[in-house]
Amino acid sequence: MFPDNRHVKQQASQRRKAGVAETRFSMPSAKIRQRGSRRVRLTLFGAAGEVTGSCTLVEGADANLLVDCGLYQGSHEAHQLDRFTFQPWQVHAVILTHAHLDHAGLLPWLCRSGFVGPVFATPGTRDVCQVLLTDSAKLQEEDAAYAERHGARPHPPLYTRADIPETMSRFVAVDYRWPFEVAPGIGAEFYEAGHILGAASVHLTLGRREVVFSGDIGASGRPIVRDPEPPHHAHTVMTEATYGDRLHSPIASSIEALAQAVRDVVKRRGVAMMPVFAVGRTETILYELGQLMRAGHVPPVPVYLDSPLAVEAIAVLRRHLEYYDEEARALLQQGIDPLAFPSLRLVRTPEESRQLNDLAGPALILAGSGMCTGGRVRHHLRNRLPNPRDMVIFVGYQAHGTLGRLLADGVGEVKLYGEEVPVRAEIRSIEGFSAHADQKGLLEWLKAIKGVERVFINHAEPTAAAAYAEVVDQAGLPRPLVASFGQTVEL
């Protein structure tokens, strides 16, 4: 079923000659078991005690699988590869829950380092990965070139754009609720996760054991994407708990908070910067802004979408109308594009982006990245943070170690491009637009799965994980085990 990997040594030699980052593996603390054993083991190589770098090794039924293979984003970026105690060629298949880089961003590295198996994902995830992985490779190339020009310590890219075609050729697209075989003896099925376009929860069947990986669970009632649909049955559940310690504001109050922020910026003729994720948050905010303008709740203020990546991602979303929810479909039937309005301006080139430095308000600038870890938003922040008339509106989660988290926590000064930049702009956070379910939504999703005997929490910061574990226990479900990095559990 899988491609032959006899040429791995030859491929490794070719990779060394290509001048891209040479993979350096730590010595394994426990080798992957030999094929032939029927026991099932899960080992956590990312997102344990944090919300980035998702990667779980599944060993069972004579195959070794990865559920997600994500980049570290934030404070652990320098240790992308140190965490793995397996070799890429030991992995027979990858199953992706969705396309965000913290879940899929290391796939090209995996493929260039010896992995020769299939990558299973929904059609939406496959198409978004094409956009996001290409952009990730481009940014790594640019960072390496910048470092070389300025005499900084060499930091070769993990992969380049030349690696993307080979990576994409590995994809096997399988739609929701369509059972498929991952490897002999391992069945799988995708369920709608409601997080972003194509996002899925994964139901695995290994012999008599059923294991569910939640992926990132979306909040119900959000625009464009459909609500999450839990798998029906499982013995073991590996669940995220990003917002396991809190409840989101009602969506109506979040929309009103957005409207008020826009009205305030218009009143003082300022510019509001909104750090957004290219996939997920951008379309949500565009949808809500369009609805507010059409209803007359905010003036038709100019909105600049300064993210070529987001523009590409929206084009992908428009090719997958089958994923739209009923509300978005109803707008389409009325001849209304849910992701556009007359005052929206798409910014594509670097020159067009630089011209926004001289932009006079009132205006809104939507730019990536969502946690301010990179992208064009950092240039706008350097330019706008010293201005008290301007505003930063956070509409998504800001992880520890990111610039976004520092600003949201009220820091008075930040360092951008080697400069100390004072923070005089107003900082607002509106959490109700999160693409993640809150504590109540997570619990409802988990309770809908029948037969659950064990629960593991992965993809959550410690406080959120501990709080959610307590809530699950009080609900009469098996008390969850909060996963730790490198931990192996046997099922």
Q: Quick one: pLDDT at residue 447?
A: 98
Q: Quick one: pLDDT at residue 271?
A: 96
pLDDT in tens, the chain (491 residues): 333 333 333 433 343 344 444 333 332 333 444 444 458 999 999 888 888 899 999 998 889 999 999 998 765 566 788 888 889 999 999 999 999 999 999 999 999 999 999 999 999 999 999 999 999 999 889 888 877 787 777 678 999 999 999 999 999 999 999 999 999 989 999 999 999 999 999 999 998 899 999 999 999 988 899 999 999 999 999 999 999 999 988 889 999 999 999 999 999 999 999 999 888 889 999 999 999 999 999 999 999 999 999 999 999 999 998 889 999 999 999 999 999 999 999 998 999 999 999 999 899 999 988 888 888 999 999 999 999 999 999 987 787 788 989 999 989 999 998 889 999 999 999 978 888 999 999 999 999 999 999 999 999 989 999 999 999 999 999 999 998 888 999 98
Structure tokens at 65: 């699988």
Q: Quick one: pLDDT at residue 39?
A: 82
- Cβ-in-10-Å burial (0-12, 13-18, 19+) of 26 comes to exposed
CB 117 within 8 A of CB 3: yes
Task: Find the helix packing angle between 281-295 and 308-318, rounded to 10°.
Answer: 80
Rounded CA-CA distance 250/228 in Å is 18
Q: Quick one: pLDDT at residue 78?
A: 60
- Alpha-carbon Rg for the chain, nearest whole angstrom, is 22
Q: Quick one: pLDDT at residue 29?
A: 34
Residue with tokens 């290219």: 278
Q: Quick one: pLDDT at residue 450?
A: 98
Domains by residue range for the chain, with CATH = 37-246+436-490 (3.60.15.10), 251-433 (3.40.50.10890)
> What pTM, to 2 d.p., does this model score?
0.85
How far the first Cα of the chain sits from its last, in Å, is: 25
> What single string gives the DSSP state of each residue in 352-419?
HHHHGGGPPSSEEEEES-TTSSSSTHHHHHHHHTT-TT-EEEE-S---TTSHHHHHHTT-SEEEETTE
- Cβ-in-10-Å burial (0-12, 13-18, 19+) of 266 comes to middle
Q: Quick one: pLDDT at residue 38?
A: 59
